[in-house]
Amino acid sequence: MKPPRAWQRMLSGRRLDLLDPTPMDIEIEDIAHGLAFVARWNGQTVGDYAYSVAEHSLLVEELFARLVPNASPDARLTALLHDAPEYVIGDMISPVKAAVGPEYEKLDKRLSAAIHIRFGLPAVTPARLKKQIKQADRISAWMEATQIAGFAEAEASRFFGRPAPGLIAGLSIRLRPPVAVRADYTARHHALLGQIG
């Protein structure tokens, strides 16, 4: 019996092996395109456009920079790429991840390592940096929950913690066409990469 196919053809023409990804098969254009079309909250959000993982990632990078004002460009790039594996494995809400079990996490880690190596970052994010990015991620989740996903502030605060008002001042959730988000995500990636090298 033939083993099941474990690779996906990307729009760039690359063939990405999901079980054994290599950095050479990863392109930012594929990541940006995939993330711009992957909906957070399983698409259960208000508005004419889904809130994409790419838009979320741009917000997390901005929040991370507010939390860590002296963050290096490579740390900010790590924040931008924190959900990059979802360009091929999708965005599962936390209850589904828990039900799927550790295999999802293993797949996510393999893809994340390949993505990081491709863009000159450490394969494994240092624990302190990971914690800081997770804090920005939770603030973004609170904003999303209260602005577009139907959560009351008290409920969102129980799950994600209430952010300090100063951290989110002037920021709001934006719902935009995927092509616009894709362009901004790609541009931000190039800008940060240019500051590193």
pLDDT digits (tens, 9 = 90+) for 2-20: 777 788 999 999 999 988 9
Please write the tens of the pLDDT for every residue from 149-177: 999 999 999 999 999 999 999 999 999 99
Q: Which amino acid is at 12?
A: S
E strands present in the chain: 7-9, 15-17
Tens of pLDDT, residues 37-47: 999 999 999 99
Indicate the angle between helix axes 53-67 and 178-196, nearest 10 degrees. Answer: 40
Q: Is 5 exposed, middle or buried (0-12, 13-18, 19+ CB in 10 A)?
A: exposed
Q: With 80 as the cut, is the pLDDT of residue 114 above it? A: yes
User: In a 3-state reduction of DSSP, which class is residue 16?
Assistant: strand
At 197, the pLDDT band (50, 70, 90 cuts) reads low
Domains of the chain: 26-194 (1.10.3210.10)
To 5 degrees, how large is the angle CA 144–CA 145–CA 149?
Answer: 95
pLDDT above 70: residue 48: yes
Q: CA-CA distance, 116 to 42, in Å (whole number)?
A: 26
Please report which helix (H) or strand (E) contains residue 106, including its range: helix 102-118
Euclidean distance between CA atoms 28 and 190, whole angstroms:
9
SS3 state at 119: coil
For residue 53, name the pLDDT band (cuts at 50, 70, 90).
Answer: very high
